[in-house]
Structure 1
Amino acid sequence: MKYVVILGDGMADEPIESLNGKTPLQTAEKPVMDEMARTAEQGIAYTVPENLPAGSDVANLSMLGYDPQQYYSGRSPLEALSIGVDMKDTDIALRCNVVTVTEDGEYEDKEILDHSAGEITSEEAEVLIEAVKKELETDEFKFYPGVSYRHLTIWDKGQVIDLIPPHDILGKKIGDYLPTEPKLKEMMKKSFDILNHHPINEERAKKGLNKANSIWFWGAGTKPALDNFKEKTGMNGAMVSAVDLLKGIAVGAGMRNLDVEGANGGLDTNYHGKAMAAVKSLLENDDDFAYIHVEAPDEMGHQGNVENKIKSIEYLDSQVVKVVKEELEKAGEEFRILIGPDHPTPIAIRTHSKEPIPFMIYDSTKKVEGQNEYSEEAARKTGLVVEHAYELMNRLLQK
């Protein structure tokens, strides 16, 4: 038996008036998932405990079978694992986004226009982070480039302090949300002067693209310690994701990371390549389990782009779910697939919510009476509620 999790990050939503009261998941043309739903188990699950932030870090730990109350130590430390930064026990990791802020006025009066700087390329962002590093790096603060807009700062003998994610304050003046720690606040202010007229950003502006003209610190945490996935489940596992957070979780759990050319975390990511990488690992590399993470629905939710959120779900259906299902069937493999988001990213609020997620478990060997579609409403109608989403892994593995 092979086991697969297909994770559409932020895929769940609320009913939207312009969609005639439907959600993007209900509106999307997703014939494969809807066909699977007719003979699959559906329900809702709570991925984020009340006392923890509604982040992809907490929620993906849950979906991978790790109780976040036990294992969560912050988002950035997991990304540090992915980048290959060996944290000391006294280190604090900080997420260091490059973001787009308005250009006029004092720094405190600026607004965040775009938390991802137009989904800037990793190549452009690395040049910008190197410019920041040259001016701001000290023995106390070290900067490391990551993927697209997501980068890392290590704070020697620092503190875990409350920091606001930039995607939570889109369109708001940043003054009330800046760090209370003076050193962090000062580096953010200086970064605008370093980045706003950098040649990379001047070129982006000429093309009508958003500048990556400030850094933004958030997601502070300490060195993580995850139990080994194979020791926990008895299975070899592989991770397919474009983002450092998921790659870091995989490193911490002792899973293999599968790199896919063209996988970038955006709407135009290499969906088919990700599906085939997972299939190959299951059929040729003796892996028992694959976790395929697709970031695009979450990014479209943050952008408030309902049309592209629908597209991202349709791409997930036709280029990931369909491919994995058909390739495993063709190979004669028995399999179980868990499909779901990690958390909702509703278009209306453009950030994550703690509402329960709809999940579906499909078994190639066992048909049950299901629903006519896979959606938030269909999942709620079943009455099946999993209070702690980390228990879904055992449900998938039939343990």
Structure 2
Amino acid sequence: MKYIVVLGDGMADEPIEELGGKTPLEYADTPNMDRVAREGSCGLLRTVKDVYEPGSDVANLSVLGYDPGTCYTGRGPLEAASMGIDLAPTDYAYRFNLVTVRRGVMEDFNAGHITSQEGAALIASLQGKVPGVEFHPGISYRNLMVVHGAKGSVTTPPHDIVGQETAPHLPDGPDAPLLSRCMEAATAAFADHPVNRARIAAGKLPATTIWPWSGGKRPSIPAFHERWGLSGGMISAVDLLNGIARYAGMEVIQVPGATGFLDTDYAAKARYALEAIERLDFVYVHVEAPDEAGHMGSVEEKVRAIEGVDGIVGTILDHFDGTVAVLPDHPTPIRLKTHTRDPVPFAIRGRARDGTAVYSEREAANGAFGLVEGPDFLSLLFGKKPFEQKE
């Protein structure tokens, strides 16, 4: 048996008045996801327990069969793995965003979706400014810093505080003074930087500083093949997902045109998934666009992104006879512009039909699978439990 999972990040939502009381999933034209539901069975998946912040890190670990309680240390070290950064035992890796903070308010958590080239130039101006800290440019606003000899800190994701004053949400804990110095150094370095001057002249938001969050040490994640006896591959434009894959020993499949934003090449992701499943047993196709639209609070873009995900599913269904599953990792409601930990709808084609007609939050709640805990999803998909891990 072979398996393809298509995950639309943040795809689940709430009923929206301007959509006639429908969710974006219910409103969007999704004949292919509906087909997965109609030809299989549905349920709800609890991907984030109450003890965790509802993020893509914990949620995707859960969907991939891992208990975050045993292997999650933070988002930073997962992204470090994707970037090829080897962490020493005493290192902490923090994700940091390039952000727009003005008059003490988090105006934008991604600095107007600044480009990777612009971000790299800004980050270059930080190198050597704070002893014991390495700054690594990533993709767009998503970047990484490594703090040597760190102890950890309590941080807040910047996308959770858009429109709010930043002072109550600054880092707290042992690393807080150092992280604050990094933010101050960025504020000074970016203030009159050529990149920001050009962005302002073009009517774009400047990156006024950095915002560190979700730090952690190198985790220990059991190999996917050893747990399931299956070879696995990851398709994603996001360092977080590729980092999880690298720790799990999965193949990281690079797709030209995959951007991690609304302009991603959906068709290319489908083509590369079909090529990969020829040599692999399991392919995980992650699409970031619905989550980005949710953070933007754009109903129109979220519907469009969901329909893009549906196109991926359609191409796969047309050319692949194995088991296909579709789901989000967490909701990113338009109303809130951030993640929630509500259970998400999933559908699996390749199991007995349960009579579900369409794929949506409400329909899945009545599916035959009922409510399933996140780390049990792959057991359900594969029809077996993971192999016992050796101590």
TM range (shorter): over 0.9
Question: In the aligned structure 2, how far is the partner of 1:264 from the partner of 1:13?
Answer: 23
Contact 2:43 2:372 in 1 (8 A): no
Matches within 5 A, 1:30-179: 30-102=30-102, 105=103, 110-134=104-128, 136-138=129-131, 140-179=132-171
Consecutive unaligned residues of structure 2, counting only runs of 5 or more, are 385-391
Determine the structure 2 residue equivalent to 1:207: 202
Determine the structure 2 residue equivalent to 1:302: 295
Q: CA deviation at 1:381?
A: 2.1
Q: Secondary structure at the match of 1:133?
A: coil
Question: In the aligned structure 2, how far is the partner of 1:80 from the partner of 1:36?
Answer: 35
Matches within 5 A, 1:386-397: 386-397=371-382
Select which of 301, 316, 323 maps to 1:336.
Answer: 323
Matches within 5 A, 1:2-21: 2-21=2-21
Determine the structure 2 residue equivalent to 1:27: 27
* AA in 2 matched with 1:397: F
Matched, 1:356 2:360: no
Q: TM-score, normalised by structure 1?
A: 0.93
Contact 2:36 2:325 in 1 (8 A): no
Select which of 232, 239, 253 maps to 1:237.
Answer: 232
* AA in 2 matched with 1:360: A
Contact 1:386 1:392 in 2 (8 A): no
Question: In the aligned structure 2, how far is the partner of 1:358 from the partner of 1:218?
Answer: 29
Contact 2:130 2:181 in 1 (8 A): no
Q: CA deviation at 1:367?
A: 5.0
Determine the structure 1 residue equivalent to 2:215: 220
Contact 1:42 1:370 in 2 (8 A): no
Deviations 1:114-133 (A, max 9, x none): 11122222122111111122
Determine the structure 2 residue equivalent to 1:193: 188
Question: In the aligned structure 2, how far is the partner of 1:66 from the partner of 1:348?
Answer: 30
Select which of 310, 324, 327 maps to 2:319.
Answer: 327
Q: CA deviation at 1:384?
A: 3.5
Determine the structure 2 residue equivalent to 1:331: none
Select which of 244, 252, 267 maps to 1:249.
Answer: 244
Deviations 1:183-208 (A, max 9, x none): 21122123122113311122222222
Question: In the aligned structure 1, how far is the partner of 2:178 from the partner of 2:71?
Answer: 29
Question: In the aligned structure 2, how far is the partner of 1:200 from the partner of 1:255?
Answer: 37
Consecutive unaligned residues of structure 1, counting only runs of 5 or more, are 329-333
* AA in 2 matched with 1:252: Y
Q: Secondary structure at the match of 1:261?
A: coil
Q: TM-score, normalised by structure 2?
A: 0.95
Question: In the aligned structure 2, how far is the partner of 1:187 from the partner of 1:144?
Answer: 13
Contact 2:233 2:284 in 1 (8 A): yes
Aligned-pair RMSD on alpha carbons? 1.3
Q: CA deviation at 1:394?
A: 1.0
Question: In the aligned structure 1, how far is the partner of 2:227 from the partner of 2:367?
Answer: 30
